């Protein structure tokens, strides 16, 4: 049976970044940049005040107590028309351009001007006893960055703060990779959509809702194919929909095990091929990978926890590669499994020797994460998954981890 690492490797080599498109800035969040972004101008664009106060000539302030005449009022968004002569100051607001001749700002708090509420007009004169140095409370042009600088690298998944920076550079459109489109199907005669009445022997389809959310959090789009019945015809019909939709990936859950009604593998092989269909892991052994009419196919197990773990371990990485995001790039705001960290087991943990992903609760104690299992570890048990904040990874070949030993964990 394939190891998790081999299976992941085999899956990942099949995926290449999607084509690129130019989108309005607001639509680029969480998508991967297709090109480096070069600053089109300096930031800030002009010398401006970092405080509400008075623009002055620093050399004028070196007397003990000083009164300057206020010759202009410069709100943010205006263009100053004056050049300060010796003995002159201008009232200035935060973000307003510095007038010619001025080289420092005295905050209003450090002056005798005490009407500081909105709507007050500038005084005739202003007095202060503090000496200021050249450049104080001035944000000089180009202080943050210079025109021509590369500010964001290609492959970066754009964050909220990145969008802020791009907007401040006046970049209204961005070239990003297309969102990967995932054709999702569940399978099984027993499945009922959540808004329908239950019938005897049936269960609610939970995977569709869980997987749709995981797909969205990974920055991809879901095309819902629906639920296949346990017949060859029904499976084939849904797979054809994925082909018609030109999906980037077909993702199914259930029907890839060794049950008498697990037809998915067989139908895939009629018009495609299976690369593998079992992985040496727990939960999640019946995990299939192949291709159907030119579209990559990943078949997750049916049990909800197995499907979740299979997604975290294989599908997320595949979607990241499809999305054009570079390796170091974060996986997006809603992304669940963000980091691999070392944690300490608070209790002895046993495993069956397959690479195991166990639901655990991490607690931080003196800067160290201590992990205890979050309850039942059966592959259908979603409650303990909702209670977990991490998956502990017990390596293949290890059957017992004593309390106090460190293991790798995926944060949820
Ligand atoms: P299978 O791989 O088809 O044998 O399914 C394994 C187990 O997962 C069975 O108990 C199924 O009822 C269950 N299962 C399959 N699909 C879903 C689903 N979409 N939501 C919840 N449970 C499912
Ligand atoms: Mg089934």
pLDDT of residue 406: 96
Q: Which of 141-155, 201-215, 248-262 has the lowest mean pLDDT?
A: 248-262
Higher pLDDT: 335 or 111? It is 111
Q: Is 191 in the pocket of ligand 1 (CB under 6 A)?
A: yes
Q: Is 303 in the pocket of ligand 1 (CB under 6 A)?
A: yes
Quick: pLDDT tens for 207-236: 999 999 999 999 999 999 999 999 999 999
pLDDT of residue 329: 67
Quick: pLDDT tens for 50-72: 999 999 999 998 877 789 999 99
Please give the structure tokens belonging to residue 127: 């007095």
Q: Which CATH architecture has domain 4-17+179-322?
A: 3-Layer(aba) Sandwich (3.40)
d(CA 412, CA 406): 18
**Among candidates 166, 51, 33, which has minimal Cα distance to 109?**
51
The number of residues in the chain equals: 412
Domain boundaries, the chain: 4-17+179-322, 29-40+146-177, 48-139, 340-411
Q: How confident is the model at residue 258 (pLDDT cuts 50, 70, 90)?
A: confident
Q: Which CATH architecture has domain 29-40+146-177?
A: Alpha-Beta Complex (3.90)
Quick: pLDDT tens for 150-187: 999 999 999 999 999 999 999 999 999 999 999 999 99
Q: How confident is the model at residue 115 (pLDDT cuts 50, 70, 90)?
A: confident
Q: What is the mean pLDDT of residues 127-140?
A: 95
**Closest protein CA for atom 23 of ligand 1:** 302
**Closest protein CA for atom 16 of ligand 1:** 302
Q: Which atom of ligand 1 is nearest to the CA of 256?
A: 2
**Among candidates 327, 179, 312, 187, which has minimal Cα distance to 248?**
179
Extract the runs of DSSP E, i.e. beta strands, from 79-160.
88-92, 104-107, 125-128, 138-139, 150-152
Q: Is 381 in the pocket of ligand 1 (CB under 6 A)?
A: no
Taking the domain 48-139, which CATH number applies?
2.170.190.11
Residues facing 107 on adjacent strands: 53
**Among candidates 80, 68, 79, 73, which has minimal Cα distance to 122?**
73
pLDDT of residue 260: 87
Provide the 10 A C-beta neighbour count for residue 294.
9
pTM: 0.91
**Among candidates 361, 351, 353, 342, which has minimal Cα distance to 404?**
342
Going from the Cα of 189 to the center of ligand 1, the distance in angstroms, rounded, reads 10
d(CA 397, CA 354): 6
3-state helix, strand, coil in the chain (%, to 5): 20, 35, 45
Going from the Cα of 333 to the center of ligand 1, the distance in angstroms, rounded, reads 29
Residues facing 408 on adjacent strands: 342, 393
**Closest protein CA for atom 5 of ligand 1:** 302
∠ CA 246-176-292, nearest 5°, is: 20
C-alpha 337 chain-centroid distance: 10
Q: What is the mean pLDDT of residues 373-380?
A: 95
- Looking at the CA of 253, which ligand is closest? 1
Q: Is 304 in the pocket of ligand 1 (CB under 6 A)?
A: yes
- The DSSP element (H or E) to which 241 belongs, if any, is helix 232-244
Regarding the domain with residue range 340-411, which homologous superfamily does it belong to in the CATH classification?
MoeA, C-terminal, domain IV (2.40.340.10)
Going from the Cα of 255 to the center of ligand 2, the distance in angstroms, rounded, reads 5
Q: Which atom of ligand 1 is nearest to the CA of 206?
A: 20
User: Using CA of residue 338, residue 342, residue 343, residue 345, what is the dihedral sign?
Assistant: positive
The alpha carbon torsion through 42, 48, 49, 54 (nearest 10 deg) reads 170
Q: How confident is the model at residue 139 (pLDDT cuts 50, 70, 90)?
A: very high
Question: Which residue of 259, 262, 303 sits with most ligand 1 atoms within 8 Å of its CB, as the best mutation to test the pocket?
Answer: 303
Q: Is 284 in the pocket of ligand 1 (CB under 6 A)?
A: no
Look at residue 23 and give its three-state secondary structure: strand
Going from the Cα of 206 to the center of ligand 1, the distance in angstroms, rounded, reads 9
Task: Check whether 332 has a pLDDT greater than 50.
Answer: no
Which residue bears the tokens 């293991």? 407
The chain-wide mean pLDDT, for the chain, equals 95
pLDDT of residue 261: 83
pLDDT of residue 335: 45
∠ CA 48-53-59, nearest 5°, is: 80
């Amino acid at each position: 049976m394939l190891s998790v690492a081999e299976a992941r490797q085999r899956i990942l080599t099949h995926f290449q970044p999607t084509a690129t498109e130019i989108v309005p800035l607001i639509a680029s969040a969480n998508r991967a940049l297709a090109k480096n972004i070069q600053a089109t101008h300096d930031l800030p664009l002009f010398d401006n005040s970092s405080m509400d106060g008075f623009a002055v000539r620093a050399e004028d302030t070196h007397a003990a107590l000083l009164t300057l005449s206020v010759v202009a009022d410069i709100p943010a968004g205006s263009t100053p028309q004056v050049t300060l002569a010796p003995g002159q100051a201008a009232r200035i607001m935060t973000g307003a351009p510095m007038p010619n001749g001025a080289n420092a700002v005295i905050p209003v708090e450090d002056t005798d001007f005490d009407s500081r509420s909105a709507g007050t007009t500038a005084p005739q004169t202003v007095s202060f006893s503090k000496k200021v140095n050249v450049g104080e409370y001035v944000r000089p042009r180009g202080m943050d960055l210079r025109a021509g600088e590369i500010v964001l690298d290609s492959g970066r998944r754009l964050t909220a703060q990145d969008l802020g920076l791009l907007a401040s550079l006046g970049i209204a459109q961005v070239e990003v990779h297309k969102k990967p489109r995932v054709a999702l199907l569940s399978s099984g005669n027993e499945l009922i959509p959540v808004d329908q009445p239950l019938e005897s022997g049936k269960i609610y389809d939970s995977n569709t809702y869980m997987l749709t959310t995981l797909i969205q959090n990974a920055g991809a789009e879901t095309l819902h194919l629906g639920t296949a019945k346990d017949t060859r015809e029904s499976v084939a019909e849904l797979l054809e929909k994925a082909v018609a939709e030109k999906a980037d990936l077909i993702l199914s859950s259930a029907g890839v095990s060794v049950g008498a009604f697990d037809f998915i593998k067989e139908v895939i092989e009629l018009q495609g091929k299976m690369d593998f269909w079992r992985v040496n892991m727990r939960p999640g052994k019946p995990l299939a990978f192949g291709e159907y009419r030119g579209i990559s196919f990943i078949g997750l197990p049916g049990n909800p926890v197995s499907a979740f773990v299979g997604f975290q371990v294989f599908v997320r990485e595949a979607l990241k590669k499809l999305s054009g995001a570079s390796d170091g790039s974060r996986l997006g705001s809603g992304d669940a499994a963000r980091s691999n960290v070392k944690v300490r087991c608070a209790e002895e943990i046993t495993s069956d020797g397959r690479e195991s992903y166990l639901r655990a609760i991490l607690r931080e104690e003196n800067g160290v994460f201590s992990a205890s299992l979050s309850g039942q570890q059966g592959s259908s048990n979603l409650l303990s998954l909702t209670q977990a904040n991490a998956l502990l990874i017990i390596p293949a070949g290890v059957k017992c981890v004593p309390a106090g030993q460190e293991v790798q964990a995926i944060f949820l």
